[in-house]
Structure 1
C-alpha cells in the first residue's frame, strides 16, 4: 500500500513538473523566435555581401514564429491541467490557506470533530463538481468542438476539459484518505502534511517530537 501511495505521489509531482516545464518551453520558444528573426534582418541590412543569407534565415525564423499561433492556446490548456493537478497536490501538502486558527484553540476531540465535519463538506463539494463536470465533459465530447488554434491537430475542447473531473476525483481520493485518518484518530486537522512528523518519529523512536 505504501509503495502504491508513493508511486501515486511521484506521478502527481512528475505531472506538475512536466506541465510547468512544457509551459516554460513553449512560451520561451515562441518569445525567442519572435525576437531572434529581427536580429538576422538587422544583420542582413548591415552587411550587403551576406544580405541574402541572413535575410533567408530571418524569413525562416519569422515563418516559424507566425506558425506558432497555437502556443498561447496550448499554454492555457497546460495551465488548466496544472491547476487541477495542483488542487489535489495542495490538499496533500496542506498548501491551502490556513483558516483553522480558532479551531486549533479548542481541545483535540473538538478539533477532530470539526475537521471531520469540514472534510465531509469538502467531499460533498468535490462530489457535486465531479458529477457536474462529468456531464459537462460528456456534452463537449459529444459535440466534438475543436479547441481554439489546436483543432488543426485534432485536439477537441472535450480532451482539454477531461482534467476537470479527473482533478476532482483526485481531490475526493485525498479527502477520503484524510477522513479515514481523522476517523481513526491518526490526525486532528485537514491536510496530510503532518505525516512528516510521524515519519520522523518512526525513524527516531527515542527522539521526542519538536
Structure 2
C-alpha cells in the first residue's frame, strides 16, 4: 500500500477533497486579489487598500493549513541514510522515537499558538512554561478582542459577533482573532497528523516519518529522458 494512500475510506476521501478544496480556495483568492489590484493600479490608478494585508493573511493560512496536510499526505522530505542501513525492527523503533519527538514539539507549537491567539479572542491563555498545565484566570484587562487589523474592512455579515465578543461596540476593521485563528488551528492539525503518523508506525503500516523521495524520483526521470528511455 502506498504511504500516501493509507486512508482510502469514504470519510478519508471526503477529508482529502475538503482539505484540497480549502487549499485551492486560498490559492485562488490570493491570485484573484493580486490580479485585481494589478488591474486597478495600472488601469485605473487606484487599488484595493486592504489587498496586500489580505494576501499576507491568506499566505499565512496556506502555510499553516498546508503543514498538517503535508504531514498527512507524507509529502515531507527527510534524510534516511541511517534508516536504510538498519533492520526493519530498528527502523520502526527509530520511527517511534522520531514521532514522539515530533508530537512533543507539536504540543509546544500548539501551546504557543493558542496563547498568542487567546490574547485576541477573550479566552484564557494556558499555564505552564513548557507544556499546558491548565488555564490562567481571566481579568478585565485580559480582554483584547477589540484589536483590529490594519486595512481589511469589517463585512456586514460578520456584525453578529459584535454583541457577543465586543460588548456591542462596532468594528471598523475585522478583529484580529478572526485571521489569527488559523495559527492554533494549523498547529492543532500538525499535532493530530503526527499522532496519526505515530499510530501508523506502531501498527506497522509505516516504518518512519521520512517517506517522500520526490527529489530522487525526479532525478531518475530526468536521467531516463537524457538516455532516451
Higher relative contact order (CA 8 A, sep 6+): 2
Determine the structure 2 residue equivalent to 1:148. Answer: 150
Provide the aligned C-alpha RMSD in A. Answer: 1.9
- Choose which of 67, 83, 105 in structure 1 pairs with 2:63: 83
TM (norm. structure 2) is 0.68
Counterparts of 1:42-61 in structure 2, within 5 Å, are none
Identify unmatched segments of 5+ residues in structure 1: 38-61, 195-210
> Counting helix residues as a fraction of each chain, which structure ranks higher?
1
Determine the structure 1 residue equivalent to 2:117. Answer: 137
Q: Quote the offset at 1:152 in angstroms.
A: 4.6
TM superposition outliers: structure 1 runs of 4+ over 6 Å:
none
Determine the structure 1 residue equivalent to 2:206. Answer: 187
Say how many residue pairs are matched. 167
1:50-103 superposed Cα distances (whole Å, 9 cap, x missing partner): xxxxxxxxxxxx3xx34x110000000000100011101211233222222222
Structure (1 or 2) with the larger CA radius of gyration: 1
Determine the structure 1 residue equivalent to 2:34. Answer: 27
Tell me the distance in 1 between the aligned counterparts of 2:78 and 2:49: 40
Identify unmatched segments of 5+ residues in structure 2: 1-6, 123-143, 156-172, 214-229
Residues 151 and 140 of structure 1: is their aligned pair in 2 closer, same or farther, counting only changes over 3 Å? Answer: farther
> Counting strand residues as a fraction of each chain, which structure ranks higher?
2
Tell me the distance in 2 between the aligned counterparts of 1:108 and 1:6: 30
Q: Quote the offset at 1:115 in angstroms.
A: 0.7
Q: Is the 8 A contact 1:93 1:193 kept in 2?
A: no
